[in-house]
Amino acid sequence: MAQNKNHIIPHPSLSRDLQSGASAPLLVHSLYETRSSVLSLAANDTYIFSGSQNRDISVWDKHTFTLKQTLLGHTGSVLALEYAGDKEWLFSSSGDSTIRIWSTITLDPLFVLVPYLETGAGDLFSLAWSSILQTIFIGCQNTSLQWHTFHDPISRSGSSLSISDVSSSVSSASTPTGTRKVHKFFDSYPQFDRKPADIFANNGVVGRGSPDSDRYSDALASQPQVFIEASNVIDSAHYGYVYCMTVLGAGESVQLATGSGDESVKLWDCTTAGPVFVHEFTCNQGAVLALVAKGDTIYAGCQDGHVKVFDLETKTLVRTIIVQEGIDIISMSMLNSDLYTCSANGWVKRWSASFDCTAAWDAHNGIVLSSTITRRGKAEDSGFRLITGGNDDHIKVWDVTPPRARASSINLTRDENATFHVASGLASDTLTYALSKFVSIPSISCDPAHKEDCRQAAIWLKKCLVQLGAHSTLLPTGEGNNPLVLGTFEGSLREHRKTRVLFYGHYDVISAPLDGWHSDPFTVSGRNGYLYGRGVTDNKGPIMAVACAAADLLSRRALEIDLVLLIEGEEECGSSGFGETVRKHKNLIGDIDAILVSNSTWIAEDQPCITYGLRGVVHCTLEITSDLPDLHSGIEGGAVVEPMIDMVKLLATLTDNHRQVQIPGFYDRVRPETEEEKQLYKLLSNVTQKLASSFVARWREPSLTVHTIEISGPKNATVIPGTVKAQVSLRIVPDQDLDTIVKSLCDYLSASFDQLHSTNTLRVNVEHTADWWLGSLDDPWFKALESAVQEEWGSEPLRIREGGSIPSVPYLEKEFGCHALHLPMGQSSDQAHLPDERISLANLQKGKAVIERFILKVAA
């Protein structure tokens, strides 16, 4: 067995690490906020605005990095800042349940926006401004979504701002903020003070008599209020706090995306009458703490370190980026197609449009709580800066550059023997990179020592499918069995029911003894156009090809069907628990229109093939025992009835001198060979230079095989074994009935043994069965697959059958009431189950392309 007892499970991220020594941006300047976490940031051409835990908004000169002014007024932490460039306003929201509007020219306060229910709205976590609608949207702690529209502009007179021209809602509500209703929780003192709540209490931080109370009361006293009306509120917009939001839109169309602690992102059409719910994206990865958007794509930063990438047009999950598992993503910013993620461990990472990590650096000594991207100056070519704020009291200013066009592929590292190692982390694409990680997990299902490796392979594959855009889960298959991985790539929303195709595969592999291997079986290595490693062709390579095909169609907004992946972990040792689990979770899997399999190879090297038939199998164990222990042949030989002689005689009754199986009626229902088949075998004979009769014997004729004979005792030449076991299998073909064959075999063995008149005992145990399968060549699904192969390879595929068995294929056909299709991707020399298992890079890539073509065809 290959050495893997101390095997390290690979990191689940499919994002390649493309950093270089100079990839991290230059730190331009640090700004220090005295003893206060930086909770929010905004910037314009002149200033950087930072909202802090200490209730103030610091205004920093963008060019000299000096503190210009401090904006006073809030009595709670400043949770969000939003710059409205068209109005030259700054909106700030706070834990004091107010939104304040400031002039970014004079830095004077304009007025206070009070949410509906006032302090009942709780902390105001998020803000978003729509210049098209002239509307500010507010996300609230009480789960409501509120908004206010500014119908008339505020007139300016010199450096002062007049409130007289504000809409009537302002002038009619010009009540000093100091007279607002007191909230018994948000305006309370510490319990030991035994004081009634008042608006200056702020939980004892700034109360009456405190050194700061006067400056806050002065700032509060003169500001007129605007009250959000009840009609501008959507109660329970989410089932959790509304932590983040972003406005999307071009022209007259405006949409709002909101993220919440209920693990969802909601999309709203924004009209003059208010937001109208459109769609809900479910993240299932913890609270959504950050949102950014680019074009028709939304990025949602989640509590457990995942970024969900959603497409607005098709309403689908395109990809999941694993930034760092278990580390909350607090803030995100975008510069063209580059995404910057800010995490609770102080790190900032940059991600390219292809979801690769192009930079990562330790930005803060604590949590990165806020970020924004701004130009260095007013000129269009002035460059950009990323500004980050943390709970370490610092604001950091970083020089960042927009992404440049990158090469579509990465040169693989090579040694002097022209061998490249995909596992080095520099893979040419997602497919080979993901396959290198998948193969590195020694998921050997028949070896108890690798039981945990099998479980980890299932967990890794689930996370991989999630990153590629699927919804994925693990399905338990019973005590001691490896779980099924269920992943669903959902196609674009359509008015009518979408076609649903199920792809079946298996993530388990057989053992890989090192004898005969020229490289580590569990490290993918490339030589002369082939990838070598256990499982690359059976069956991990085809699984990744199918998953990446679906992911690519998703990214191109071209996936119009639902593709369901059902990947088991027990195929190499009998598919234990598979059928029961599928039946139990059939509603979760859903209705299926066709089944796709890719678990075999071509008949030759150069001609693509489609498999349309498999033989069935019956595996059984025969055991003959005596009532005696193992005996010495020199002492007891000739005096006892030996189980070994009985076994030899019994096995000899199974076939005649012409290798014909002697079970009564065994050949009665074998389907006659048609003229069309004869012509096909003749064609295959010309292609392979093998006799046509060999294909007939291997594919369409039943057979019997004796596999092993085992004995009890020390296995030396002087022992009469007391127990002898033999393993026997039958391969069955259309139209033999599986249950009838099993019964005939057992009956025949018992009758033959009785004729021996032996004093020994026979036990027959049928351990495993699988039915035969024959595809429909005239089925439109088969025609679509055949056409896809021909278009991709430029030649008509050969129609072939297999002598082996895949138990799950006929079972799935019967369970879901639809036809199965079998697309082999590997070549005949791929060495599946043997040393130096391999798959051609060309076959792998073209196999993926065939799947894409097939999906597009069946969707049409």
DSSP SS3 for 18? coil
Cis status of the peptide bond prior to 365, with omega within 30 of 0: no
Catalytic one of 570, 571, 837, 852:
571
CA distances from 273 to 231, 233, 266 (A): 9, 11, 18
CB 702 within 8 A of CB 667: yes
Query: How many other CB atoms sit within 10 Å of the CB of residue 158?
Result: 6
Structure tokens that stand for 462 in this block:
């689930």
Distance CA 36, CA 369 (A): 12
Active site residue 399: no
CA–CA gap between residue 792 and residue 796 (Å, rounded): 10
Give the closest residue to 111 by CA, choosing from 39, 60, 172.
172
Only one residue has tokens 């909230």, namely: 183
Cα separation, 706 vs 267, whole angstroms: 64
Judged on CB neighbours under 10 Å (0-12, 13-18, 19+), 501 is buried
> Hey, how many other C-beta atoms are within 10 angstroms of the C-beta on 561?
23
Euclidean distance between the first and final Cα of the chain, in Å?
48
Q: How far apart, in whole angstroms, are the C-alpha atoms of residue 314 and residue 183?
A: 44
Cα dihedral 654, 658, 664, 665, rounded to 10, equals 140
> How far is 398 from 385, CA to CA, in rounded Å?
5
Instruction: Give Cα 112 distance to the centre of its chain.
Output: 44
Name the packing angle between helices 540-555 and 841-859 (round to 10°): 50
* Residue 155 CB partners (closer than 8 Å, separation 6+): 161, 162, 164, 165
Helix (H) or strand (E) holding 68: strand 67-71
Q: Where are the beta strands (DSSP E) in 650-793?
A: 703-711, 719-720, 723-732, 761-770, 773-774
> Which tokens go with 410?
């990465």
* Residue among 513, 556, 620, 616 nearest 837 (CA): 513
Q: Is-catalytic flag, 580?
A: no
Give the Cα separation of 203 and 211 in Å (integer): 15
Please give the structure tokens belonging to residue 101.
Answer: 């509007």
Pairing of strands 109-114, 225-227: parallel
Distance CA 547, CA 486 (A): 12
- Which residue matches tokens 């006799």? 691
Contacts of 160 (CB under 8 A, 6+ apart): 106, 108
d(CA 547, CA 408): 20
Q: Where do we find the tokens 């002898």?
A: 724
Does residue 559 contact residue 855 with C-beta atoms inside 8 Å? yes
Radius of gyration over alpha carbons of the chain, in Å? 35
**Tokens 């790539």 — which residue?**
489
The residues with which 277 forms a beta bridge, in sequence order, are: 268
- Give the total residue count for the chain: 860
Positive or negative torsion for Cα 575, 577, 582, 585:
negative
Out of 262, 304, 311, 508, pick the active-site residue.
508
Single-letter amino acid, residue 149: T
- Which residues are designated catalytic? 508, 571
